[in-house]
Amino acid sequence: MATVRQKLLRWYDAAARDLPWRHTRDPYAIWVSEVMLQQTRVETVIPYYRRFLESFPTARALAEADEDAVLSHWSGLGYYRRARMLHAGVREVVDQYGGKVPEDRDARRALPGVGRYTAGAIGSIAFDKEEPIVDGNVARVLARLSRIDTPIGASATTSRLWEEAARLVPGRRPGDLNQALMELGATICTPKQPGCESCPVAGECLAYASDEVDALPVPRVRKPPKKVKMAAVVATRGRGADRKVWLVKGDQPLFGGLWGVPMAEGKARTVLSQAGLNAKLGTKPIGEVEHVLTHRRLQIDVYLASAARGEESEARRRFAPGDLESVGVSTLTRKLLASALGR
């Protein structure tokens, strides 16, 4: 294993991409980057990361921000529960630890939204602790390196991957070692057409030796996303520059805390009523939007309603188009508004 570590670190020193979160040892900034990078491409994360830290440069600054401000900086990044859990975790850091992310691993693991991977990334990169990590890229590297032929997601596979990661991490520069594994998976040991000829540890790779690189890792069995038919109502009041749109704040897991167009399974009139609004509702949809989530494929009929009336509350408000930049709205909401209003 020492040979693998040495080769990975030498390669990382020469080939690592210049990414903004690699210029800091601030555990808070590293925490932000790792949460953003979950299930999201590096190229997408970079501008969000920079804007987020410009607005919330410290744990205390984020803790003191309201949820709308936080979610507005996350709009378009997806998986919004990440932002809410990061916000909750940072608030606990401020309340319990004076704004300093704890070095103790168990204390980090106890924070809201901090699992084994995030705790290990913070511990190894910020605090130089010998803590392993396993994300999708690392899992692929280790599955090929150690020829793990059980399906990703199976409990036996997960245990084996963490064991292999734990065997590699002890030694100097554990944070760089973990980042080298992630970097290798992102740039060379890719899911398709991996660049084995350029891999620094090809000589130690059991999958490469047995010509099984393309067969590993064994993918988890995924069900196709379920098709769900929904209706969304873009309810407006006023005309021209004075026109505003009613949005509601949802509490469902996927879009909880975000402002969105009233939407549900069922008839448009029922959707409008459930939102607490009265309006002149068109009899036919003016468009259709398809939106694919991890487990669901939403097919949404979009209706336009005018002269909408309702009582504003913490969960129901009228917004001018320019107001949407300061609150959290999802990509789906923007698609629905564009479909109905052409913006």
Number of domains in the chain: 2
- Is 220 within the bounds of a domain? no
- Whether residue 51 is contained in a domain is answered as yes
Give the bridge partners for 313, in sequence order. 316
- Domain, as residue range, for 275: 226-341
Q: For residue 221, is it within any domain?
A: no
What pLDDT, on a 0 to 100 scale, did the predictor assign at position 322? 83
DSSP assignment of 39-72 equals TS-HHHHHHHHHHHHHH--SHHHHHHS-HHHHHH
Q: Does 327 map to a domain?
A: yes
Instruction: Write the pLDDT tens digit of every residue in 119-134.
Output: 999 999 999 999 999 9
Asked whether the predicted pLDDT for residue 154 surpasses 90, the reply is yes
Angle between helix axes 174-187 and 2-15 (nearest 10 degrees) is: 70
C-beta separation of 109 from 103 below 8 A: no
List 236's β-bridge partners, or say none.
Answer: 245
pLDDT in tens, 17-29: 999 999 999 999 9
How many angstroms separate the Cα of 87 from the Cα of each of 11, 44, 66, 253, 257? 35, 20, 9, 16, 12
Q: For 107-118, how does the pLDDT look when each residue is reduced to its tens digit (9 = 90+)? A: 999 999 999 999
Distance CA 95, CA 108 (A): 14
One domain for residues 48 and 171: yes
Final residue in a domain of this structure, among 159, 189, 215: 215
* 147 and 256 belong to one structural domain: no
Same domain, 32 and 152: yes
Is pLDDT of 260 > 60? yes
Catalytic residue numbers read 34
Q: Is residue 109 part of a domain?
A: yes
Same domain as 240, residue 168? no
Q: At what angle do helices 174-187 and 155-168 cross, to 10 degrees?
A: 130
At 168, which CATH number?
A: 1.10.340.30
Predicted local confidence at residue 12, as pLDDT: 98
- Predicted confidence (pLDDT) at residue 254 exceeds the cutoff of 80: no
Phi-psi bin for 174: left (phi > 0), alpha (psi -120 to 50), beta? alpha
